[in-house]
Amino acid sequence: MVLLPLRLILGRAGSGKTRYCLEALAADLRRSPDGPPLILLVPEQATFQMDRLLVSLPGVRGSARGHVLSFRRLAWRVLAETGGAARPHIDEVGKAMALRVLLERRREELRVFASVTGRPGFLRRLAETIGELRAYGIGPAHLEKGLLALSALGR
């Protein structure tokens, strides 16, 4: 693994941070057009403007080494290069289909939901509930623990 340096440029508004970063990046690109990528990390709304400013500097036009990226674009790039983005994501229709199959397979085991699994909107609401549970970090172990606590109370 190769560790590359990270430089943080800090200062008050209007102190020349952006100009310094662009000129330093341009100087590196002119000095060595080939080599590891040089990334200027900016907020999402500034990527287009910074990209244009960078290529407008003398000697930078057409460089494949300099990249202006937002945090989101950097994350996608890292995931793509490490294989993390290769995992396909399932959409709402796919979730509903998977839930339908699971409910059909487990129909005999269902006590509470057996009579409502076919009702309109049930699968959508179930998928939403599962999404909420995941968002709050509540997994099967948490649910089982809660069920045991309720059983102990006689409910």
Shared domain check, 125 and 71: no
CA distance 19 to 16: 5
Q: Does 4 map to a domain?
A: no
Shared domain check, 106 and 130: yes
The dihedral built from the CA positions of residue 88, 93, 99 and 100, taken in this order, carries a sign that is negative
**What pLDDT shows up at residue 40?**
87
Q: Does 3 map to a domain?
A: no
Shared domain check, 70 and 131: no
Q: Does 103 map to a domain?
A: yes
Interval 30-73: pLDDT, tens:
888 887 888 888 898 988 998 888 888 887 776 678 888 999 89
pLDDT at 14 over 60: yes
Shared domain check, 80 and 112: no
Domain count, the chain: 2
Residue-level length of the chain: 155
pLDDT at 151 over 90: no
Tokens found for residue 99: 């839930």
Its pTM stands at: 0.49
Shared domain check, 102 and 68: no
Shared domain check, 78 and 22: yes
What average pLDDT does the segment 136-154 reach? 87
Interval 71-115: pLDDT, tens:
989 988 888 888 776 666 778 888 888 988 988 888 888 888 778
Shared domain check, 139 and 120: yes
- Domain of residue 82: give its range: 17-86
Q: Exposed e or buried b for every residue in 126-137, given b needs 16+ CB within 10 A?
A: bbeeeeeeeeee
Which domain-ending residue is among 56, 86, 116? 86
